[in-house]
Structure 1
Amino acid sequence: MGFQLSTDHVDQGNHDRNEQCLVFEDHFDRFNLKNWQHEITMSGGGNWEFQWYTNNRSNSFVEDGILYIKPTFTADFMGEGAMTNGGALSLWSGEPSTQCTDNSNYGCERASGQSSGGNYINPIQSARIRTVDSMSIRYGKVQVRARLPQGDWLWPAIWMMPKYATYGVWPASGEIDIMESRGNGKNYPFGDSSRVSSTLHWGPHADLNAYRLTQAEVIAENGTFADDFHTYALEWNEEGLRTTIDNKTVLQVDFDQSFWQRGAFPEWSMNPWESGSIGAPFDEEFYLIFNLAVGGTSFYWPDHPIKPWSNEDSHPANQFWQQRERWLPSWGEGNKPALAIDWVKVWSDSPCA
């Protein structure tokens, strides 16, 4: 018998365990950078994605009470010639608010052309913002009212990462993906803007990530998730967690066995969660992240004839940019290719001060 999570709005005082405390909300009357810290990197999250993340009001901005995370072109920032051959981009800075946050995979400095083996600098500029310095919770509820972007190869996400990495490096300390989707039309068979997935990532190390055991997908009943706003939510307590869209369950994981048992990992592997509860690694504080990625060479984008790059190519970002006439019309006009956030609310199971 699995645990039960309330589908009522907890700000009305309805919860099946205890009254939750509203610890964070933003209705985006302005872009409050005390709430949101920008990640600044060209790393691509280990997926060799085609965007780089920066603190720029072309990519993260508030307009009429909506937060937009919008992709733009690196060629419009530094010129296409510099982006493709002979230019350089450094994200090192002496200012905390503009300092590179991830140096993995050459994330803080890159060059184009001969000095980089013929690679272009990441052709898309975007944003990834987080609450690591302003808010984290250990059990509670997260609600985000959002409209997903429209456009081929766009990869929006609403997700959470551990604040302290209590059980070690990724994915040993866990990852909670509340919402991931692809902006594509229905001609790409591996996912489009009518589908949304939720996933937990966990494992002793990256080669033993058992996410496939805790992953689920839903398909929109009508249209796509880029047509209108929907409420994406996480409910989480000591007994398990559940993600929902408009109060309809996407993924439910009961903490009825340890994740070490759930994963049936090989005997030679070390158990990073021996010191944790039955829900470890999902028994520690996590913070919230919004981002919009573009493309990449990971399993999330399987090769297909309509895809303008190959994951096996030595210069996939070059291919993507060179064939932009194939995908750029799908991005539409104005803020259509942006992840749009109307509001966010977070409640904690911890008592209010």
Structure 2
Amino acid sequence: MSDAVDMAYTRLGDTGLEVSRLCLGCMNFGSERPWMVNDRRASIDLIHEALDLGINFLDTANVYSTGESEDIVGDAVASANRDELVLATKVYGDMGEGPNSGGLSRKHVLDQAEASLDRLDTDYIDLYQIHRWDENTPVEETLSALDHLIETGRVRYIGASTMTAYQFTKALYTSDIEDYSRFACMQPEYSAVARHEEQNLLEVCEGEGIGVIPWSPLAGGFLTGKYERGAGPEDGTRAAASESVRSYFTDENWAVLDAVESVAGETGATPAQVALAWLLEREPVTAPIVGPRTSEHLRENVGALSVDLTPEQVERIAEPKAPRYPQR
């Protein structure tokens, strides 16, 4: 991988697995939403550029454009050194309309693992994650299925995403009691304007040696400074199509953005780089999941690794926001 000297690497939680300090989120690679890349060749080129910059950690899911994202990732990495790559995908969401098309039953987990392996065109998945908690399936059934995937060599590590601290702790302790493979990482929403997990999952992760790979580290583009206070989002932007992104438009969050932009002016960095650099300073963050749609966005994100924030700047960005769980 050329230019890899610009990339930093770390271990995923308490494991020996080395991952880049930025993870390439692949949800944008597909045609499900108008704000996605919507061009297969451009998606593959962007993945190749990320690999050239030293990113070895790619995250997708079976439900992203109903398998299209996984298929694109598989094509993109076909010529890469598989031993260096860490391919991550997820299971839970509905992949059809009939019975057993979603959830975390043993049947669905095992069937979807095989389908993801086919789309990714690989013999094994490095990190297989449950996308959500399944209230309708005993956690022992899910963990047994995931353990089977590891024992049979189809999966190397397992992870989870977006649940309560109680649910995650229950899963970890069940693994310990039943001698199943343990979750190595958690994928929560986390950014300078979404800090609710500091009062929920992050304490568990830090105490249990779990890696953290935050999704939406730029809050759907809010922390890039692309939106204006008091003005509606422009057509074609993610906020225009997403109520969840527009939910960031609060006085408290605008104050955080003011601090981010102030620090950006002091450091000569962009607001996006400062927001990522702030997150990289948080414990126990391993690798924020960035979702660039262009080469310029990708290189800007990687540039965050060279932004050094002072303790005062880190605190100034944190000060306007009071972490609460659940977020409100």
TM-score scaled by structure 1?
0.24
Q: Which has the higher helix share?
A: 2
Q: Which has the higher contact order (CA 8 A, sep 6+)?
A: 1
Q: Which has the higher strand share?
A: 1
TM-score scaled by structure 2?
0.25
Larger radius of gyration: 1
